[in-house]
Homo-oligomer: A and B are copies of this chain.
Amino acid sequence: MRARLPAVAPDAPESFDTILRDFREQIAPAMTHWGHPGWFAYFPSNSSPPSVLGELLSAGLGAQCMSWETSPAATELEQTVMSWYRQLLSLPEQFTGVIQDSASSATLVAFLTARDRVGVDHERLVAYWSSEAHSSVAKAARLADIPVERQRVVPVDGEFAMQPGALATMLADDARQGLVPGIIVATMGTTSSTACDPLRAIGQIARDHKVWFHVDAAFGGSAAIVPELRPLLDGVELSDSMVTNPHKWLLTNFDCSAYFVRDVDALLHTFSIAPEYLRTRHDHDTTVVNFRDWGVPMGRRFRALKLWFVLRSYGAAAIRSMIRTHVALGHELAAWVDAEPGFERLAPAPLALVCLRHVPPALQGDETALARHNAALMARVNATGTVHLTHTTLGGKYAIRVAIGSFRTERRHVAEVWRLLREESQT
């Protein structure tokens, strides 16, 4: 597309009709359509009508939400909506929420706060996460200046969840060697397979060693608003911080990442800075907060508005029902895969993500050939243009991921992706 665009900005104004025509003819057809009902790639990134209207009003207001005084209603609505969301997730009352742009940023915030809490000893700080944790965790460690030598990758069990026993051993070994265990990151709903680390056992280890415990529930967290799925988040009350993204499953367009933290003073100690030109009459008023001190950026958009619109416009019951439907569709697809000769399911499917591969008898046991075969199968399915899939590896095996969660996805779309996978596996 780039080759078709002018190389320099126009000097004279262009009509909005021309600009919109270019949008329709040049931009829209060259986008990847994350909102399509056949979107089964990565994770869903839902953008519902009330959310889009919230974003529109927020852009129109053009407010800077760095402090209470620069945006009182935005600050207070963020507090209110984060409190609503905290209750929907059944998180402890001691948790306070703030909206960040992404789970990557929120996890970096957790690392920087944990490093700050360790203090002068932080050059011996060791960080722990499982081999299935998201890449943003290793990236946060790197950016927080924790080198590879002090990063511990804890092994997972057969269902891709962290082994707490292995974590405990690593921690004890490090402590014995004079290192300082400083942060443990557990995942509720890993990116590869939505595996859920045993938060309670991990949290207990974190408490025993006084280590910052961060829970990455970026995708999976939303499911915790459904009572029968809440057990997957059991033990989160032992954590120090937790991130979950309404901008994935919760009908709120990117960006809207909810970061919950137990010790707000620790967060403020790491991030607050108050030069004269930012001081307001309300800085020492304990009834208001200045969210610029709750993360990296000073400037902040009014993101609470769209989440407020979504929660009110749909109501919690309908959102729970949507998540239940997606999870049930995932179970149904998992059952279809299990029943189909030649197909293999590679992980449990607790959260609407099914990981599978096709195993022709001739290729059995040959991982390289199976990877090539399934990559080609996925490419053929994607080439139909009806659905979009992405892949991962699980225990060294190439896996096709079918991530259900777009709010436009119905049973017939899941049936279609399954039909395409079977059909293309025969060519």
Contacts and interface: CB of A to CB of B under 8 A. Distances in A.
Given A27-B73, A309-B19, A62 B9 contact: no
Nearest to A70: B32
A317 B27 CA distance: 25
A271 to B, nearest CB: 7
A362 interface: no
Given A14-B312, A31-B72, A314-B13, A23 B254 contact: no
Contact of A69 (B13, B32, B76, B138): B32
A104 B298 contact: yes
Interface string A188-210: 00011000000000000000000
Instruction: Give 6 closest A-B pairs by Cβ, nearest first.
Output: A47-B62, A30-B73, A102-B297, A9-B84, A55-B59, A2-B76
Contacts of A418: none
Contact of A108 (B255, B296, B317): B296
A31 B71 contact: yes
Interface size class of A (residues with CB under 8 A): 35 or more
Contacts of A102: 297-299
B313 A72 contact: no
A157 interface: no
A383 interface: no
A169 interface: no
A26 interface: yes
5 contacts: A9-B85, A9-B312, A26-B73, A47-B61, A64-B254
A299 B219 CA distance: 13
A19 B76 contact: no
Q: Which of A27, A62, A308, A393 has the most CB of B within 10 A?
A: A62
Contact of A16 (B80, B299, B313): B313
Interface string A87-128: 110000000000001111100100010010000001100000
